[in-house]
């Protein structure tokens, strides 16, 4: 391919700005990459949706509030129209000022943690408040005490719910029958459940298990009032009783928001192509495309992940250095964004490209027909790791304590004994400087198992433990070898 002029390259690099550093990729109808299995989450029969951080749980919630996206996706997937017609969506969580703050949830969990029924009834109380406008006059009169009490007072809402007796159940029963007569649906979505409590893993588990148990009981009774529980994968797997007999039927029909390499590349290509017409023109001949959509824009048509190779090599070249010894760029991109479970998230991939473009703008190195240099990508990987850990600390505050303990021996890998020693140091002290935070395990050995399960640490052959690049720099750790980072000081273009 013909070489780019410096001016043309600089223009294309400047276009690679997506606001990907936000908790969710920029809210834009053209940033939604349609994956049929993910869209199955909108089926009324699906209650439980499980996904990792950055896997798109919140993006699906946003989809329910975008008529344009719904119409565009209905054209592509005719069965989806049946899931969207005559539907209304309400937020069961987050409740914001209409629900308790973390201290309120903590106090209720402390007072009633041993009584699962109490937690189920509290969630029932908040469900009624969420769907208040749909309740009939009889229900509003019978539940006036509950509907009028301050939402931030969990104990009072619980007390008022108890006073209502059977009125609560009968109110939803009548609403459900009315919706069935009208062939309509009322969906209640529960997202960001990991923000209920930050400092007490056990108490958060109590609250979320109460919610899951509540819908395990009523999902079969309420046919038109339906729940969508968006649950983080680590919580779903780590709390064994969540997957117990009480929600076996919910779990059997769950949707897991997993991303294949093909879909990750498809998402990235769509994201880049819809950023500017200049970028679309630059990449147009690298992949086949669907018919242009007025809402979704340019959508690539990939049959297998290898179909994305020309796109990557057009952007950065074939190798992450002078030759194959430093790795093929096509495989490097995803392999260095995977956690210990071999999963990569769309958020991290988009952020990597955006940050590499920012670095390339400040220190241009690319030449020929490429717009990004491997050194820019390698430097961006460190920044992705830092942002990934910083954002994770907001949801998992004990990560700051983990970082503090691990940096006593910065270079990975470690033996199990070495890792246990690092984690055991100051075990009984708080794992956060902000408040009294405990780790999600009873001892250092159990915490290692959890870190492996979560993907922060990976177990290697030879009984040693490593940290994937996604977490490495963010946790202040180092590893020998890899693609050279280069000197950031030299801003002169190299042709």
DSSP state of 46: -
The topology under which CATH files domain 395-475 is Arc Repressor Mutant, subunit A (1.10.10)
Helix/strand/coil percent split, the chain, to 5? 55, 10, 35
Question: What is the per-residue pLDDT for 322?
Answer: 81
- Residue 205 confidence (pLDDT) above 90: no
Contact 162, 121 (CB under 8 A): yes
Q: Which two tokens stand for residue 440?
A: 């999600």
CA 395 – CA 206 distance, rounded (Å): 17
Contact 103, 203 (CB under 8 A): no
Question: What is the per-residue pLDDT for 165?
Answer: 95
Residue ranges of domains in the chain: 6-17+260-392, 36-256, 395-475
- Starting at the edge strand that comes first in sequence, how are the strands of the sheet with 414-415 ordered? 414-415, 464-466, 458-460
Question: What is the per-residue pLDDT for 239?
Answer: 62
**Local confidence band at 485 (pLDDT 50, 70, 90 cut-offs):** low
Q: Which two tokens stand for residue 411?
A: 């270079």
CA 448 – CA 316 distance, rounded (Å): 37
DSSP state of 59: H
**Local confidence band at 21 (pLDDT 50, 70, 90 cut-offs):** very low
The residues with which 105 forms a beta bridge, in sequence order, are none
- Residue 233 confidence (pLDDT) above 60: yes
φ, ψ for residue 474 (rounded to 5)?
A: -60, -30
- Starting at the edge strand that comes first in sequence, how are the strands of the sheet with 48-51 ordered? 87-93, 185-190, 225-232, 48-51, 255-256
Grouping H, G, I as helix, E, B as strand and the rest as coil, residue 38 is: helix
Question: What is the per-residue pLDDT for 1?
Answer: 65
Place of tokens 């969506």: 89
Query: What would the mean pLDDT of 278-307 be, rounded to a whole number?
Result: 94
Q: How far apart are the first and last CA of the chain?
A: 16
Q: What per-residue string of b and e applies to 341-354 under the rule 16 or more CB within 10 Å gives b?
A: eebbbbbbbbbbbb
Contact 25, 59 (CB under 8 A): yes
Q: What is the mean pLDDT of the chain?
A: 88
Please write the tens of the pLDDT for every residue from 139-186. 999 999 999 999 999 999 999 999 999 999 999 999 999 999 999 999
CA 175 – CA 87 distance, rounded (Å): 14
Q: From 2.60.40, 1.10.10, 1.20.120, 3.40.50, which CATH number describes the 36-256 domain?
A: 3.40.50
Question: What is the per-residue pLDDT for 192?
Answer: 87
% of residues, the chain, pLDDT over 70? 91
Question: What is the per-residue pLDDT for 380?
Answer: 97
The residues with which 432 forms a beta bridge, in sequence order, are none
Please write the tens of the pLDDT for every residue from 356-387. 999 999 999 999 999 999 999 999 999 999 99
Query: What would the mean pLDDT of 87-116 be, rounded to a whole number?
Result: 91
Lowest mean pLDDT among 115-129, 217-231, 235-249, 407-421: 235-249
Of 490 and 386, more confident: 386
- Residue 135 confidence (pLDDT) above 90: yes
């Amino acid at each position: 391919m013909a070489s780019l002029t410096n001016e043309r390259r600089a223009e294309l690099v400047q276009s690679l700005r997506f606001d990907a550093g936000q908790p969710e990729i920029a809210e834009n109808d053209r940033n939604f990459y349609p994956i049929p299995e993910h869209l199955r989450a909108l089926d009324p029969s699906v209650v439980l949706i499980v996904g990792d951080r950055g896997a798109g749980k919140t993006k699906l919630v946003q989809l329910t509030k975008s008529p344009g996206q719904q119409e565009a996706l209905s054209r592509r997937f005719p069965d989806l129209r049946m899931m969207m017609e005559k539907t209304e969506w309400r937020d069961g969580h987050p409740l914001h000022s209409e629900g308790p703050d973390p201290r309120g949830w903590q106090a209720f969990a402390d007072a009633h943690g041993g009584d699962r029924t109490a937690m189920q009834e509290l969630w029932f109380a908040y469900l009624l408040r969420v769907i208040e406008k749909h309740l009939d006059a009889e229900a509003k009169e019978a539940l006036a005490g509950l509907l009028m009490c301050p939402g931030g007072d969990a104990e009072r809402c619980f007390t008022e719910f108890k006073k209502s007796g059977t009125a609560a159940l009968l109110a939803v029963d009548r609403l459900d029958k009315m919706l069935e007569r009208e062939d309509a649906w009322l969906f209640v979505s529960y997202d960001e459940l990991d923000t209920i409590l930050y400092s007490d893993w056990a108490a958060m588990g109590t609250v979320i298990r109460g919610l899951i148990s509540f819908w395990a009981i009523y999902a079969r009774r309420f046919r038109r009032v339906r729940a969508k529980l968006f649950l983080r994968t680590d919580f779903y797997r780590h709390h064994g009783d969540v997957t117990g007999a009480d929600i076996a039927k919910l779990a059997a029909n769950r949707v897991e928001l997993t991303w294949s390499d093909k879909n990750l590349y498809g998402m990235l290509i769509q994201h880049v192509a819809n950023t500017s017409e200049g970028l679309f023109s630059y990449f147009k001949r690298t992949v086949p495309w669907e018919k242009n959509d007025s809402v979704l824009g340019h959508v690539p048509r990939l049959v297998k992940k290898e179909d994305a190779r020309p796109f990557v090599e057009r952007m950065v070249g074939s190798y992450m250095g002078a030759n194959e010894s430093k790795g093929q760029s096509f495989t490097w991109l995803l392999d260095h964004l995977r956690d210990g479970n071999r999963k990569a998230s769309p958020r991290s991939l988009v952020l990597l490209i955006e940050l590499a473009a920012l670095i390339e703008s400040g220190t241009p190195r690319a030449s020929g027909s490429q717009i990004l240099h491997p050194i820019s990508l390698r430097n961006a990987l460190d920044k992705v790791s830092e942002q990934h850990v910083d954002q994770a600390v907001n949801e998992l505050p004990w990560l700051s304590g983990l970082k503090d303990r691990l940096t006593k021996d910065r270079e990975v890998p470690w033996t199990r004994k070495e890792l246990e020693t690092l984690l055991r140091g100051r075990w009984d002290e708080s794992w956060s400087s902000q408040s009294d935070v405990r780790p999600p395990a009873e001892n250092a050995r159990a915490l290692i198992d959890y870190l492996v399960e979560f993907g922060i640490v990976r177990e290697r052959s030879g009984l040693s433990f490593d940290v994937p690049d996604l977490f490495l720099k963010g946790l202040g750790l180092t590893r020998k070898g890899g693609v050279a980072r280069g000197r950031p000081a030299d801003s002169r273009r190299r042709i």
